[in-house]
Amino acid sequence: MSAHRKDGHRKDGLSHLDADGHPRMVDVGAKADTERVAIAEGRVLLSEAAWHIVAEGRAAKGDVLAVARLAGIQGAKRTADLIPLCHPLPIDAVEVEVQARPADAAGGFRVEIRATVRTRWRTGVEMEALTAVSAAALTVYDMIKAVDRGMRIEGIRLLEKQGGRSGTWTAG
């Protein structure tokens, strides 16, 4: 009995493995192009001193928030170069929001990152949105590490995906 369904996906849902358990790139050639959207988020927790440098634009390497935003956009565009089984796909839009948030009831000093990626294609852009957030967070770390090596990158997750055969999914 085949480990794959008629649509080429494994019965256990692991579409990036063939019947013998070897990695494979999913064949999306027969799928129809549809509108796809993915939204991801994450944050960098940092010391109060580091947060002030970021929020006030005083980092020696430049505007941390602007550079992180650009890194997120670049990360989304280069996802297939970083994640071996991702398809290179035509991205229609990438929006990356990077904001310095002071300590409050929701948590300590932090930089919050949110990425939205859109395409009209045969596969989703979840990995592009997650990579955008990751690249932005790593850029914040890189630009401020001389002040705070104890920063923590946390909470990188998919918030929502729209489009394709499975429709809309939203994090609970």
Residues recognised as catalytic: 142
Pairing of strands 169-170, 152-162: antiparallel
DSSP secondary structure letters along 8-63: S-BTTS-TTB-TTS-B-----TTSPPEEEEEEEEEEEE--HHHHHHHHTT--TTS-
88, 80 Cβ separation under 8 angstroms:
yes
Task: Report phi then psi at 77, rounded to 5.
Answer: -70, -25
Q: How many CB atoms lie within 10 A of CB 156?
A: 18
Task: Report phi then psi at 51, rounded to 5.
Answer: -60, -45
**Distance (Å, rounded) from C-alpha 49 to C-alpha 53?**
7
